[in-house]
Amino acid sequence: MQTSEKTLMRALAGESLPVPPVWMMRQAGRYLPEYRATRAQAGSFLELCYNPELAAEVTLQPIRRYGFDASILFADILLVPQALGADLWFVEGEGPRLSTITSAEDYAKLKPIEDIHETLAPVYETVRILSRALPQETTLIGFAGAPWTVATYMIAGRGTKDQGPARKLMYGDTGTFDRLMDKISDATAEYLIAQIEAGAEVVKLFDSWAGALPGAVFDKYAVQPARKIIERIHAVHPHVPVIGFPRQAGEKVIPFVEATGVAACGIDTSVDPAWAAKNLQPLTCVQGNLDPMLLVTGGDALVRSVKETAAAFADGPYIFNLGHGITPDADPANVDVMLKALRC
């Protein structure tokens, strides 16, 4: 099958389909018993990310089980800061921890952009394995964290509720913050281009904390870095679609799409589907935004919400997905219910 014939690629090209393509953010993850078994075999989360055979295996698991229209590379957005020289580790039950960048002196210790590929080489090998192993109808998606979201972790050393440490550096030492954002942007473009050259057919930028950027700084630190990365990608691979996900950006998704030219824009659960169908879908393919909690609770509410969400976007290009990643407490059987409601 030619890449252009795959259902996800047809939606990204602007085609309205009677049954939309579907995949889920974090579809390879802790809600699946087979993932937990492979994770135990790997030894740790980071060891799993850097083991191409096992990373490919967990990426393939939800495809075997559910037959999604797309498979997204199993990795983590914080591999880029680690490749730039940050210390990275995970605390069980709490999440990632990094050494922090809070001054010009800290920034100066980061590695040159060209050095990232040595650390990230196992990720590229995972992509190569997947490009051979996936069913011919399944689109392979690569991804990276958007610069602002990655910067929030590099500055705070962990996830925070209000991204306060990053905002403090942004306002208090703009020069250092801007240099860090530029470096992350350049590294991210290189990383995504390498994923494409290894076999990714689509790439996605996750800006999980875009909603923390108010007013003009949203344009400066969410929109402009995304546009820079996409321009870099398209200078080398002009026909590879890029999906953007400026989470919790609200109506600012409109200028984001207009300025970046993303082939699709993911929307989170806070966005009204009727509003998005009227205002966003005429500009680009829309992806989203079923509430992940419904895959925990299931029942009639899940079936009804799946059908209502799909119906809202039936008149334009659309990819069915969640408004955020599937949660570890989701019932795998409810994913089957979701797919049946969508496809029947």
Catalytic residue among 65, 76, 219, 232: 76
Please tell me which residue in 30, 97, 128, 179 is annotated as part of the active site. Answer: 30
Q: Known catalytic residue: 30?
A: yes
- Which one of the listed residues 31, 50, 124, 153 is annotated catalytic? 153
Residue keyed to tokens 């407490």:
329
Selecting among 26, 167, 227, 247, the annotated active-site residue is 26
State which fold the 3-343 domain adopts. Answer: TIM Barrel (3.20.20)
Q: Give the pLDDT confidence score for residue 228 in this predicted structure.
A: 98
Compute the half-sphere exposure of residue 311: CA atoms within 13 Å on the CB side of its CA: 8
179 in catalytic set: no
Select which of 39, 167, 227, 247 is catalytic.
Answer: 39
76 is catalytic: yes
Q: What is the residue type of 280?
A: L
- Give 108: exposed, middle or buried? Use CB within 10 Å, 0-12, 13-18, 19+: exposed
In 3-state terms, what secondary structure has residue 92?
Answer: coil
Residues in the chain: 344
Q: Residues 93, 30: contact at Cβ < 8 Å?
A: no
The rounded distance, in Å, linking the Cα atoms of 11 and 321 is 13
The model's pTM: 0.97
Distance CA 134, CA 237 (A): 22
Residues 6+ apart with CB under 8 A from 126: 52, 55, 56, 59, 73, 74, 75
Q: Dihedrals φ, ψ of 113, to 5°? A: -55, -40
pLDDT at position 92: 82
Helix H segments across 27-173? 33-42, 45-49, 52-66, 79-83, 104-108, 116-133, 147-156, 164-172
Q: Is 221 a catalytic residue?
A: no
Q: Where are the alpha helices (DSSP H) in 144-265?
A: 147-156, 164-172, 174-198, 215-218, 224-236, 253-260
User: What are the residues whose beta carbons fall under 8 Å from the beta carbon of 52, sequence distance 6 or more?
Assistant: 122, 123, 125, 126, 128, 129
- Tokens encoding 15: 């085609």
Query: How confident is the prediction along the chain (344 residues), in pLDDT tens digits per residue?
Result: 788 899 999 999 999 999 999 999 999 999 999 999 999 999 999 999 999 999 999 999 999 999 999 999 999 999 999 999 999 999 988 899 999 999 999 999 999 999 999 999 999 999 999 999 999 999 999 999 999 999 999 999 999 989 999 999 999 999 999 999 999 999 999 999 999 999 999 999 999 999 999 988 999 999 999 999 999 999 999 999 999 999 999 999 999 999 999 999 999 999 999 999 999 999 999 999 999 999 999 999 999 999 999 999 999 999 999 999 999 999 999 999 999 999 98
Q: Specify the DSSP class assigned to residue 210.
A: G
Return the residue matching tokens 């904390």: 209
Catalytic: 107? no
Domain boundaries, the chain: 3-343
Residue 136 CB burial class (10 angstroms; 0-12, 13-18, ≥19): exposed
